Amino acid sequence: MPKKTTEKTKRFVVITTDSTRRGVFGGYLEKSDLDKQTATLIEARMAIYWSAATKGVLGLASIGPQKGSKITPSVPTIELNGVTSIMDCTPKAVTKWQNGGWD
């Protein structure tokens, strides 16, 4: 069984993808190649919807998904293409992402 990753060993980030893919994901950054617009996340979740209280995509990285947001359960690993941004999360945001939620 793989070792559980913590924020002490990996960066928890929010990743956005291009207009073709239109995804917003949170998880621990395993690897990225911005020249190729790819990234791999572990313990990844997807933000399907974030409430106005979240204050946009940057809010997902700053304060995390707020009440009314829709965050999927986590998957062990996801490889993303079309990466347009990688944002470090605050400790507060990491906790909110990890709690998930589908209000």
Residue 5 resides in a domain: no
What is the SS3 assignment for 16?
A: strand
* Structural domain contains residue 46: yes
At 7, list the tokens.
């924020």
- Is the per-residue pLDDT at 57 higher than 90? yes
User: Is residue 97 one of the residues assigned to a domain?
Assistant: yes
Domain with 32 in it? 12-102
Number of structural domains the chain divides into: 1
Q: Is residue 1 one of the residues assigned to a domain?
A: no
pLDDT of the residue at 10: 87
In this structure, is residue 61 part of a structural domain? Answer: yes
Strand ranges (DSSP E) for 1-103? 12-17, 24-33, 38-49, 70-71, 75-81, 83-88, 101-102
pLDDT attached to residue 4: 46
Residue 4 in domain: no
Mean pLDDT of 46-66: 97
Residue 29, domain CATH: 2.30.30.100
In a domain, 3, yes or no: no
17-44 burial, b at 16+ Cβ within 10 Å, e below that, comes to beeeeebbbbbbbbebeeeeeebbbbbb
Range with the poorest average pLDDT among 5-14, 38-47, 65-74, 77-86? 5-14
**Among the listed residues 18, 56, 10, 57, the one whose alpha carbon sits nearest the alpha carbon of residue 37:** 18
Confidence class of residue 102 from pLDDT cuts 50, 70 and 90?
A: confident
Residue 56 lies in a domain: yes
pTM: 0.88
